[in-house]
A and B are shown apart, each in its own frame.
Chain A
Amino acid sequence: MVCARFVLLGSTARTTGTIQVYELNGSELNKVVESEKPTSVKCGTFGSSSLIDRQLATGDFKGNLHIWDLEKLSVPVFSAIAHDSIINAIDGCGGLGIGYGAPEMVTGGRDGRVCVWDQRQKDDPVIAFEPESREAARDCWTVAFGNSYNDEERCVLAGYDNGDIKLFDLRTCNVRWETSTDNGVCGIQFDRKDIKMNKCVATTLESKFHVFDLRTQHPEKGFACLTEKMSHGSTIWGVKHLPQNREIFTVLGGDGSLSLYKYNYPEQRSLKDMEGKAYGIVGKVNLLSSAIMSTQPINCFDWSPDKEGLAVMGSFDQCVRVVIITKLHKQ
């Protein structure tokens, strides 16, 4: 984002929401802006805003989607009622020069819907993927954009509380692939948004994460998957790929640990089966390093797109930490 600032979203003790902007100054953090909102804010992204505007899109506990200008936080630039209850996750694409096509946001809510929004179209989502009946609706816990390598193509990954992972294709408007893991999917991310789908990582409750090779889709087997189990035994809250090297990612441990993994490709990424259909082959992940940062789970984390290794993370112990991870380029 060409700056040493980050945004903190959350909820106050009175269950009102708060948006704060901090600036890194040497080894200190200065609060630059603070604003209180009527409802607790759950998630936010800069992904759909242009580099100059740097507008923040947020989702709150009442299902409202807002876009804020950080200079004027009093009135939202854009506002829509996106979901019935909490917006669990939001992701943006098309801004910041990441990905092609229109700047869009995708939200996933407790009502099980996954909606794609365009700032220029008010009130209505551009596309909404909904459960077939409201009774069987599962919480959508996480969403992520990807495959946005030209103006037409774009995909959304969504993870649900029952362990389902769905890949929605926004061009053809259907469910391109779905699978089910053992536990609820807490975090999911493509390794890059703006390239042809390469791979994605999904983290689950019960300390397992899955790496899917999205390069080759077999008509029956789908995508190749690698499952890695972590030793701490608690929820893995999320995964974030290093912007400077898509093979390296951190996973956020429920025991307050931060683990750095590297994905190694197999020698051949796809083979053909007996019928001549290509299927993918998944590589291996190596644990590069792991460190306990907090006594409580780390629930959010973000890399600095400009400075390799610089990152900010939030944890349930109500602390925000700015960390630097060194020697990443040597991996």
Chain B
Amino acid sequence: MVVFKSPPSWLSHSEFDEFNDITYDKIQSYTNLSKLKRLERFMREEGFVQTADIARQRILEHGGIDPQCLEPCLSSSEVADVLQSIQSWQDDIKGKDAELQKLQNSKSSNLSDGASGGFSEIRKACPQVMESDGSRTDGKDKRRSKKDIRSGREYYEGWDQYVSQWEKENVTQEEIKETYAAKSLPKETGAQKSKRKESTLEAKPLIEREWLAHREREKGNDLFKAKEFSSSLKAYNRAIGMYKDSAALYANRAAVHLKMNRYEEAYADCCEALTLEPTNPKVLMRRAKASLEMSEPAKALIDLQESLRFDPTNEETIRLKRNVEDALKKNSTSNIALPDGRRLAIEDVESIGSETRKQKNLLEKDEQEDSQLMEDEWRVKGNTYFAEKNFQKACDCYNKGLTFAPNSVRLLCNKSLSELKLENYVAAEMDASKALAIDSHCIKAFHHRGLARRALGKLEEAIEDLQEVLRAVPGERTVAAELDVMQELIDGQRLLPKREGPMIIEEIHEDVAQEHHDENIIKGNSNHFQTLSKHSESQDNSLAAGNMDAYKDDIHGRTSSIKGASSSRETSSKPMGSAEASVIFEEACKDRKHLQIQKCFPAKDFVVGRTNAINENGHGDKLHLQVQECPFSEETTQENIELGHSQGNFCVCDLKRRSSHALQAKNRECNEKQRDEALKERLRGNEFYNVGDIAAAIDCYSKSLELDQTIAATYANRALCHLKLKEPAKAEDDCTLAIQLEPKNSKAYFRRATSRKEMEDIEGALEDLKMFLSLCPNDKMVHSLIKELEGQRHRQRKENRSNEQVTLPYDASANLVISSTTVSEILENPYKWRTSSFPAIPRSAVEFERSLLDLLKQPLVLKEYIQAIKTNLYSNIFKEDLSARILKLVIVFMKENHLLFQCKDMLDILQGFTKVNRFQIAVMLLDKQGKEALQELFRYLMTATGDSAADTDCLRCKYFCS
């Protein structure tokens, strides 16, 4: 039984404490299977088998796998497969083996011919080299002390020298003169060395090289997995150098090149691999990737199509294909004006693609016509139901439609939407995914899937989907708003779990970014308002008014921020929109007294946002259209149109203002630029951080701070980096700066707390954490952290107190013995002292002997150690292994330190040994010194015991001691 003093690596401190005072009821209250498993393992390893069994019972009750039954089992078919694979491998290997044996035979027969004479000569020459170095001592003096070891470097150098000589000797057959000149060279140059390697490689037979290459490839794979790309590349290079005909080698090297952003090399490698194995879908995909990065999407597309032909289910390929197609589209639309050869080629490819597609469509059309008719019918029916808000029926209609045309994207899309409305999110997601599998460009499907996933809580995937929508329809503002809201949610989510492990850098939007951000949020709010205002119209006004008040406050805050944003925007090149916004907001604030207008206010805001966009694009006439789109009552639309008009006026004002402020603006622009750059640096820093390059991230943050010292976020981020690098002092400084700039930056507080904790400034850390809690009161992590810290503080205080009170646990006689270890030493390092004073009770003779030898110089400790072992356990410990040596050591020790022991104890020990197996032999084999010590010991014991001398005498007989 081993009792853990500290938790094993797989157990957290809190759980360790919890498990240490576990009760039956507690076990019964657990439902978490993995926790139960940990408990089971912990108890079993600690030796509490019964507790472990209870935990195991609990696991079984909850349907978990029996932890005692780790033994894997294979089904019979799998076993057959395995045997088959071994059989085929054996057949495969036999051929190679035979080849090797042939080689071996030919070599050994050549041996006498002197073909490998070089090898045998090495053996003779090697010592010669050593002798000439003068470092070789006489052969008899084999055993040298550690310091006198012959240097390995000398040996290796000698060997190198020899090889170079040998090489030169080979050359001599052609050019004798050169050799003599070169002999004086002590070392090979690098070039010579590499040549030697190559030549030795070439000399190796193909099969051996293949084997070696295989090994190098495995090495490369390992390194690739460990993300050590450059060394993995080296391994692959070596492998290819040895064996050129393996497609897998090239394919792997291509993957490494891709990771290292060397696309041209990757492309070349893929080509090589494909000449050897033309149908590898992975390689095709890699080549496509490379060519996409080299901005040749046309080639990429061909490769991808080929790859999909061999492996149609590879998701990565499908995704890549979509990207490529997007890129192609962009190219063909944006670059018509610059037609060079490459672009033309792309267009050709695409047109061919579309032509073939058309032909296919024509062929299939006839067959599909009937089913399409039915499908259309059901779809229309479903749509009408949907419009009537009878979603269940709509869903049924779509289902029926799908039976006729299971691949209809539109049907699937619509169905997913109605499922969404029915709050059946899983089905909605599935349908949308199906639709996407059929048509990977269906934006609607992406949108629906995004919504469904959002509702299911798969935020990240939802974001991906919505981003896809945005990519296709960049103007879709509602989606953008949704996306932003989700991004925020996700950031919020990340905060909690990630803090436990590595902290992640959260981006803090400000200034330029903030503007867009706020706009989006307001838009999101306006959506809320849309529903809310409708609500209030239909219901009683008074109720709605309450709600409105809540929103009012919110909006107020937003408007002020927008105002700030717009004032900063004035300096930018397009100041009109925001200037208008500010004026309109002011107007809106005035009007807010009227409930009617309050309702419209967000709508206004919404429209204003849109009009801004339009104004900036210089399409004033679209304004009316936009306004009409706004889904409000006529009254509000009217008002908005009026607003639009008024904007026209403001435009004029603005133009004037702009000219007057031109100079001022320039100055500000400079500042803006600097700030922009600072922001860029920070973003770069974040990227570096995410990649894991902390040092580079710190550099970036520092640069950013040089440019703009007013951003608390940058300080906070740099602090996090310092924390990561275990530089809590620097981190603390940065946090302090960040807090000075922004006293409500909760992250800065948390990070300062962490750094202070690292520096063991527990009071400071607690203070910071409390500040953090006052800012974000719902953080459970921090609550537990505070508890932990308070516990630590408590313990620290206790320790300080107990340290003061420590008295030596040994008596005066002990002091003499351990005089070398002073009191202060013990106080400084109590743990060390404790461990060295009490080694574990031995389990075997070997262990006992080891501890005995280790402790011989610390008699007091050794005495305690020996006494700690119960004498009746001796036979268990020593079993058959009691040797004369051990016995002698114990006896000599007792003789020399008999004053430390009480007579009774010594007798007990001696008595204990007599019961061990092979005791008699051990005694008989005692050497002279041992026997003398024994005699002396008994003499002492006889005199000391006096009364019970009979027992001693009896013992003495057992020890054959006259």
Contact = CB atoms under 8 A, between A and B. Distances in A.
Contact of B139 (A124, A172, A265): A124
Interface string B201-220: 00001011001100100110
Nearest to A230: B45
Contacts of B212: 51, 97
B103 interface: yes
A54 B104 CA distance: 9
Nearest to B843: A206
Contact of A194 (B9, B143, B150, B219): B219
A319 interface: no
A121 B149 contact: no
A326 B727 CA distance: 46
A53 B104 contact: yes
Nearest to B209: A97
B583 interface: no
Interface in B212-263: 212, 215, 218-219, 221-223, 225-226, 231
Interface stretch (B80-88, B662-670, B908-916): B80-88
A274 B727 contact: yes
Contact of A2 (B93, B123, B142): B93
Contacts of A305: 215
Interface of A: 2-4, 24-27, 50-54, 71, 97-98, 101-102, 113, 116, 118-132, 151-152, 161-162, 170-173, 175, 182-184, 192, 194-196, 206, 226-229, 231, 243-247, 265, 267-268, 271-274, 284, 287, 289-292, 305-307, 310, 324, 326
B153 A172 contact: yes
Give the interface size class of chain B: 35 or more
A171 B208 contact: no
A130 B208 contact: no
Interface stretch (B71-79, B445-453, B709-717): B71-79
Given A172-B152, A271-B725, A272-B727, A3 B97 contact: yes
B502 interface: yes
Contacts of B152: 116, 126-127, 170-173
B189 to A, nearest CB: 14
Given A97-B212, A128-B144, A284-B9, A192 B153 contact: no
Given A170-B152, A284-B10, A326-B82, A247 B145 contact: no
A22 to B, nearest CB: 13
Contacts of B757: none
B793 interface: no
B858 interface: no
19 contacts: A2-B211, A3-B94, A52-B103, A52-B104, A52-B205, A54-B100, A97-B215, A126-B150, A127-B152, A228-B8, A229-B8, A245-B221, A245-B222, A273-B726, A284-B9, A289-B70, A291-B71, A306-B93, A310-B86
Nearest to B226: A265
B44 A2 contact: no
Contacts of B72: 289, 291
B692 interface: yes
Given A194-B219, A272-B725, A290-B70, A4 B93 contact: yes
Interface string B802-841: 0000000000000000000000000000000000000010
B107 interface: yes
Interface string B1-24: 010000011100000000000000
Nearest to B225: A247
Contacts of B83: 27
B234 to A, nearest CB: 10
Contacts of B385: none
A173 B149 contact: yes
Contact of A290 (B71, B93, B727, B850): B71
Nearest first, the 3 closest Cβ-Cβ pairs linking A and B are: A97-B212, A120-B123, A3-B97
B594 interface: no
Given A126-B155, A173-B152, A289-B70, A121 B127 contact: yes
A201 to B, nearest CB: 14
Contacts of B89: 4, 306-307, 310
Interface in B95-127: 96-97, 100, 103-104, 107-108, 122-123, 126-127
Interface of B: 2, 8-10, 41, 44-45, 70-72, 74, 78, 82-83, 86-87, 89-90, 93-94, 96-97, 100, 103-104, 107-108, 122-123, 126-127, 139, 142-146, 149-153, 155-156, 159-160, 193, 205, 207-208, 211-212, 215, 218-219, 221-223, 225-226, 231, 501-502, 692, 724-727, 729, 840, 843, 846-847, 850
Given A51-B100, A243-B218, A274-B727, A173 B145 contact: no
Contacts of A130: 143-146
Nearest to A206: B843
Contact of A326 (B74, B104, B139): B74
Contacts of B221: 245
A323 B152 CA distance: 40
A240 B69 CA distance: 23
Main secondary structure of the interface of A (DSSP, over half): loop
A268 B145 contact: no
Contact of B211 (A25, A97, A102): A97
Contact of B153 (A171, A229, A272): A171
B846 A184 contact: yes
Contacts of B2: 229
Nearest to B694: A268
Contacts of A183: 847
A326 to B, nearest CB: 5
A2 B100 contact: yes
Contacts of B93: 2-4, 306-307
A101 B150 CA distance: 18
Contact of A267 (B8, B70, B90, B502): B502
Contacts of A50: 208
B9 A227 contact: yes
B214 to A, nearest CB: 8
Nearest to A243: B218
B90 A24 contact: yes
A151 B146 CA distance: 24
A128 B86 CA distance: 42
Task: Give the most central of B9, B153, B724, B727: most A CB within 10 Å.
Answer: B9
Nearest to A289: B72
Contacts of A175: 146
A267 B498 CA distance: 13
Contacts of B108: 71
Task: Give the most central of A113, A121, A228: most B CB within 10 Å.
Answer: A121
A322 B791 CA distance: 54
Given A102-B156, A121-B123, A273-B726, 7 more contacts: A97-B211, A124-B142, A130-B146, A170-B152, A192-B219, A310-B86, A324-B82
B263 to A, nearest CB: 28
Contacts of B107: 52-53
Nearest to B193: A151
A246 B729 CA distance: 38
B149 A129 contact: yes
Contact of B151 (A98, A173, A194, A272): A173
Contacts of A132: 145-146
A84 B502 CA distance: 54
A102 B159 contact: yes
A25 B93 CA distance: 12
Given A271-B725, A284-B10, A120 B90 contact: no
Given A170-B152, A243-B218, A267-B502, A123 B9 contact: no
B139 A128 contact: no
B144 A271 contact: no
A172 B299 CA distance: 54
Given A130-B144, A130-B146, A307-B86, A231 B207 contact: no
Contact of B208 (A24, A52, A124, A306): A52
A226 B9 contact: yes
A78 B269 CA distance: 45
B222 A246 contact: yes
Given A52-B100, A227-B9, A173 B153 contact: yes
